[in-house]
Structure 1
Amino acid sequence: MNGTTTREALVAGARSLGLGVYALAASIVLFTLSVVSISLVLAGVGFFTTPTVLTAVRKYAGRRRQLAAAWSDVLIPSPYRPFPKDVRGGITGRVERTTLLIKDKATWRDLRWLLVDMTAGFTVLIVSASLFLYGVMGFVLAAGLWRAFRHDPYWFAFIPVDSQLTGILAALLGAALLVAGHRWSATLLKAHFTLTRSMIAPDHEQEQALRIARLTESRHDAVDTSAAELRRIERDLHDGAQARLVAVGMDLGTIEALIEKNPAKAKELIGKTRQSSAEALTELRDLVRGIHPPVLAERGLGDAVKALALRLPVPTEVAVDLPGRADAPVESAAYFAVSETLTNVVKHAEANRVWVDVSYGEGMLRVAVTDDGKGGARTGGGTGLSGLERRLGTFDGILAVSSPSGGPTMVTMEIPCELS
């Protein structure tokens, strides 16, 4: 066996069945509407329908990306270029949007994928589900259903079932199919998502264009973030440690004046000064920890995330599988990405438990944060996850979010890097 539990295999089979039925219907409908709408562009009608239809196709593909990440750990980058900010509204805006969508290579890759999704993709899903369904059918035939076919054999695969003996043979074949389902259902589901990735993930040219756009945007974000961080550090130093150190200096001057005239008062001030200096030192340590936690520098990302989890009010399990250490900037970016994600969980998810998985493979540092909260997390619209996505983009990293209403929520981050 490949380590898949019976529950995982059954869940994979059920997911394959549900997704297969949904994919067949949705792909046929969306492909038909897309072709008709684009064909009507020459008649003018398509300018009103095409943006809506193709946006629906992109949302459908986006949902498949989420399922791929959540169900099979297959990350599929989005290839879509954002609309320019100066696209107008009204009829002119519809014409501009239609033109941009039709010129975008990603649109035609999506349409090609819809054809594959309703054929090869559907076939892979149904095979995954049928291993269980057809396997159970063999036992049902052996249990007595064969009697309904005594005069007209029922062909169970290559076995003509019309007697108890052939029913037993059907049960043996059914058992073999169930074993195959246990062994291969999750693999077939992952194969479906891998096929999807090969169809709708950006090609090399798109990757380069998106990478340039993302790095340009993330560079501006990094500059803005650095400036904001410097202002925060300056403010914290001015309002915190600096003010306390000034007070310590003033107290020392007072102590110097009182040391001979009023030793008791001077001794009292010495105690307060010692306390003020200790508080200033604590604030400086907290400030330094916020810039770059010592545990991250000394012990690496895994232990730093574990230390972070210990301070959370929600029970958190951390699993780390790192054969080495990444460069300091990458570790820092991953650490603060996890920190922000966990902060969002505590603030918004209403979760009872959190799981953090940190691993490395195929040149990627991968972090998955999962919670059992209420779900509904989304990127876009200026949310914290959007800012996190932009910051990861500085390192050419990607972020995927799966968060159906009612939960669970899974935030997956990948950063390309090499480990020492």
Structure 2
Amino acid sequence: MTTAYGPDARDRHRPGSTGPGSHPPAKHLIPAGLRAPFEGRTWRELGYVLLSLPISVVLFSFAITMVSLGLGMLITFLGIPILAAGLAMCRGFGAMERGRARALLRLDVADPAPVRGKGGLMSWVGTVLKSGVSWRHLLYCVLHMPWAVFAFNVAVVFWAYGLAALTYPLWRWVFPAYAGTDGIQLYGDRTHQVYLDSPAEMAATSAIGLALVLVSPWIVRGLVSVDRAMVRGLLGPSRLASRVSELESDRGVVVDTAAADLRRIERDLHDGAQARLVALAMDLGLAKEKLNEDPEAAARMVEEAHGEVKVALQELRDLARGIHPAVLTDRGLDAALSAIASRCTVPVTVVVDLESRPAQAIEGIAYFTVSELLQNVSKHARATRASVDVWRAGERLMLQITDNGRGGADVSGGSGLAGLAERLDAVDGVLVVDSPAGGPTTVTAELPWRG
């Protein structure tokens, strides 16, 4: 399975697409072109196109009426609240259209921020009139009607002619029974008439109808792609608002991660080095008491305390390395990642192709990303070899970790990979995991350079 995370991936992965915990599309024996007329998606999209015409006529009429009335009455100052009321109603219509797109097109567009005035009617009116979202909803109501008319006619013509031609042999009897002709007339003048009445002609008509039926779903699919773009571009939140929301979410992830790191450091100090130093102080106190009474026992206790000091120092070094390794600061990613690889339980090949160093924060994130991924290789992959490649692509730092293990990496919520993806997401990073069952596993991380 392949899963992508990050700011770019948010646009690529919408509901219905491959994402965390989702399954790849099922394989079908029947080609997509043949099964398209029977899929639920086809009929939902056709229903969307058919409903768009009457709905768009109502929206267009309302929008034009309210704008014309509001602009016409601006001289009396009543036009301002009328125009604001029209924009507010257009926002309500936009909510309805987002719901319709969500139900029939499976297009999930976030609701824009609601209008909030500081208090009073005029404050609300001013907020509505200054809101770009309100004017984009009005633009949707105006522009969607001509497009809906075009899409409705194209969809109805293709589907109607296709189904009629495909089933022509079933209803041709209507012509001789009620119209006094042998079939559909293709040509006629005073001396010649050409009808579709022979078996070969009816078979050809059905074949043409079948071709139209098979191509109609794809034509409708192309038509609704324009509707998708209009709903997403005009009825959703602005890109600035979306970006602010993403940054607020990312800030929360960063704060939570920092708090978790501080708790981990406190726990490691309390349960590790601090506990050893307390025990060491007690042992040295006992050795001091026994120094005069039993010098040999005191010497043994001092020797044991010396060993405890070495263990405590090693734990403190490991803890400091977990906070920020000195080798990374002094010598960069190449040396730091080589040090990580040397501690991995499987042979790891490290290739770092960087002419300069990225920003210190990005370098640290890259280091801990590779460290966590190699820990996963050691603990879960059952691999016999792995590789780490680091390079620069434009203004992005690329990391790729590959192993020949069993694959099937779990990227569901709550897993280590999901948490790692959230931390990368907080700095506009992307994590892509390709881990089919049976392996190999390739994890690609992309970070901003910011050198």
Normalised to the residue count of structure 1, the TM-score between the two structures is 0.53
Name which of 308, 316, 325 aligns with 2:348: 316
Matched, 1:325 2:357: yes
Name which of 329, 341, 344 aligns with 1:297: 329
Query: In the TM superposition, what is the alpha-carbon distance from 1:258 to its structure 2 partner?
Result: 2.8
Q: Larger deviation: 252-261 or 366-375? A: 252-261
Quote the Cα distance in structure 2 between the aligned partners of 1:244 and 1:103: 55
Greater relative contact order (Cα 8 A, min sep 6): structure 1 or 2?
Answer: 2
5+ residue gaps in structure 2?
A: 1-27, 52-98, 111-228
Query: In the TM superposition, what is the alpha-carbon distance from 1:271 to its structure 2 partner?
Result: 1.0
SS of match in other structure, 1:260: helix
Letter in 2 for 1:414: E
Name which of 69, 86, 103 aligns with 1:98: 103
Name which of 359, 368, 371 aligns with 1:336: 368
Q: 1:38 maps to what in 2? A: 45
Query: In the TM superposition, what is the alpha-carbon distance from 1:358 to its structure 2 partner?
Result: 0.4
SS of match in other structure, 2:292: coil
Quote the Cα distance in structure 2 between the aligned partners of 1:312 and 1:207: 43
Quote the Cα distance in structure 2 between the aligned partners of 1:30 and 1:355: 43
Query: In the TM superposition, what is the alpha-carbon distance from 1:33 to its structure 2 partner?
Result: 6.2
Quote the Cα distance in structure 2 between the aligned partners of 1:270 and 1:332: 40
Question: Identity, % of aligned pairs?
Answer: 44
Q: 1:173 maps to what in 2? A: none
**Any conservation in 1 of the 2:44–2:104 contact (CA below 8 Å)?**
no
How many correspondences in the alignment? 252
Q: For each residue in 1:305-364, what CA deviation from the matched residue of structure 2 results, as whole angstroms up to 9, or x when unmatched?
A: 111111111221111101111222211111111122222223333322212110112011
Query: In the TM superposition, what is the alpha-carbon distance from 1:216 to its structure 2 partner?
Result: 2.5
Quote the Cα distance in structure 2 between the aligned partners of 1:222 and 1:399: 16
Runs of 4+ with deviation above 6 angstroms = 27-33
Distance 1:42-1:220 versus aligned 2 partners, 3 A rule: same
Quote the Cα distance in structure 2 between the aligned partners of 1:318 and 1:238: 35
**Any conservation in 1 of the 2:353–2:392 contact (CA below 8 Å)?**
yes
Note the 1:357-376 alignment, pairs <5 A: 357-376=389-408
Quote the Cα distance in structure 2 between the aligned partners of 1:303 and 1:361: 21
**Any conservation in 1 of the 2:358–2:450 contact (CA below 8 Å)?**
yes
Distance 1:227-1:412 versus aligned 2 partners, 3 A rule: same
Q: For each residue in 1:266-319, what CA deviation from the matched residue of structure 2 results, as whole angstroms up to 9, or x when unmatched?
A: 222221221111111111111111111222222112221111111111221111
Letter in 2 for 1:409: T
Letter in 2 for 1:275: G
Name which of 262, 275, 288 aligns with 2:294: 262
Quote the Cα distance in structure 2 between the aligned partners of 1:318 and 1:346: 16
5+ residue gaps in structure 1?
A: 1-21, 45-93, 106-198
Distance 1:368-1:213 versus aligned 2 partners, 3 A rule: farther
Distance 1:259-1:377 versus aligned 2 partners, 3 A rule: closer
Quote the Cα distance in structure 1 between the aligned partners of 2:250 and 2:36: 34
Query: In the TM superposition, what is the alpha-carbon distance from 1:97 to its structure 2 partner?
Result: 4.0
Quote the Cα distance in structure 1 between the aligned partners of 2:354 and 2:309: 40
Q: 2:198 maps to what in 1? A: none
Q: 2:310 maps to what in 1? A: 278
Letter in 2 for 1:357: D
Quote the Cα distance in structure 2 between the aligned partners of 1:299 and 1:321: 14
Note the 1:63-74 alignment, pairs <5 A: none
Q: For each residue in 1:197-232, what CA deviation from the matched residue of structure 2 results, as whole angstroms up to 9, or x when unmatched?
A: xx9xx99x9875664444322322222222222222
Matched, 1:230 2:262: yes
**Any conservation in 2 of the 1:364–1:416 contact (CA below 8 Å)?**
yes
Quote the Cα distance in structure 2 between the aligned partners of 1:270 and 1:249: 11
Letter in 2 for 1:98: A
Distance 1:224-1:27 versus aligned 2 partners, 3 A rule: farther
SS of match in other structure, 1:314: coil
Quote the Cα distance in structure 2 between the aligned partners of 1:229 and 1:240: 16
Letter in 2 for 1:40: G
Normalised to the residue count of structure 2, the TM-score between the two structures is 0.50
Note the 1:8-407 alignment, pairs <5 A: 26=32, 34-41=41-48, 97-98=102-103, 101-102=106-107, 104=109, 211-407=243-439
Distance 1:349-1:259 versus aligned 2 partners, 3 A rule: closer
Q: For each residue in 1:344-386, what CA deviation from the matched residue of structure 2 results, as whole angstroms up to 9, or x when unmatched?
A: 2233333222121101120111001112223223533332222
Distance 1:339-1:209 versus aligned 2 partners, 3 A rule: farther
Q: 1:139 maps to what in 2? A: none
Quote the Cα distance in structure 1 between the aligned partners of 2:33 and 2:414: 31
**Any conservation in 2 of the 1:211–1:396 contact (CA below 8 Å)?**
no
Distance 1:228-1:27 versus aligned 2 partners, 3 A rule: farther
Q: For each residue in 1:63-115, what CA deviation from the matched residue of structure 2 results, as whole angstroms up to 9, or x when unmatched?
A: xxxxxxxxxxxxxxxxxxxxxxxxxxxxxxx979427844649xxxxxxxxxx
